[in-house]
């Protein structure tokens, strides 16, 4: 499968997708259905109001959630596919006890996304690089990463708004 992304595009996308608050928002809606905006703080009490606002604004701006009249925030098709990707990543991490045998769902997803970054960029200098910290998966686990990697590549290809790197503001 051809990987059409630059290092900057992949890094930008993964930085956003690996956000704990975005992972929590998307998976909560996926697991339990639409959330009325006024109930967000009660449903996700581990996130600050700033984190909730930022995750909600980002998710709406990127087309992951929409406001359904009378129901609240619900996932779009793109958001639902992202939730499937998160589930596949967490399933892989649980199966391989990565990054640790006991770990929070969002941390598992973040670690798996970080593992996938080097294999997604088209412009790797000298082969795939590895995260410098933590236990690396076994050869078997590496092979099992194919499914989450494929899902991520397909999802990014179908959601180019996540791989656009914004240009820095000109200095006046």
pLDDT along the chain (172 residues), means of 10: 77 94 98 94 96 96 95 97 98 94 95 91 50 61 91 94 66 51
Q: Does residue 98 have a cis bond before it (omega within 30 degrees)?
A: no
What's the first-to-final CA gap in the chain, in angstroms?
Answer: 43
pLDDT for res 75? 98
In the numeric block, which tokens belong to residue 110? 């973040």
β-pair partners for 5: 121
pLDDT for res 171? 53
CA distance 23 to 16: 10
The backbone torsions φ and ψ at residue 65, rounded to the nearest 5 degrees and listed phi first, read -135, 160
CA distance 130 to 146: 16
Who contacts 108 (Cβ-Cβ below 8 Å, separation ≥6)?
89, 90, 93, 94, 98, 99
Quick check: helix, strand or coil at residue 171? coil
């Amino acid at each position: 499968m051809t990987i059409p992304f630059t290092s900057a595009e992949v890094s930008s996308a993964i930085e956003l997708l690996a956000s704990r608050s975005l992972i929590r928002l998307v998976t909560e809606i996926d697991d339990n259905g639409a959330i009325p905006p006024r109930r967000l703080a009660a449903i996700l009490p581990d996130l600050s109001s700033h984190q909730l606002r930022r995750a909600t604004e980002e998710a709406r701006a990127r087309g992951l959630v929409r406001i359904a009249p009378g129901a609240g925030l619900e996932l779009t098709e793109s958001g639902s596919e992202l939730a499937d990707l998160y589930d596949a990543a967490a399933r892989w991490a649980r199966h391989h006890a990565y990054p640790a045998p006991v770990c929070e769902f969002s941390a598992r997803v973040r670690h798996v996304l970080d593992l996938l970054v080097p294999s997604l960029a088209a412009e790797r200098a000298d082969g795939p690089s590895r995260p410098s910290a933590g236990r690396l998966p076994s050869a078997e686990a590496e092979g099992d990463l194919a499914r989450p990697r494929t899902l991520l590549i397909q999802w990014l290809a179908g959601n180019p708004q996540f791989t656009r790197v914004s240009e820095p503001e000109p200095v006046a």
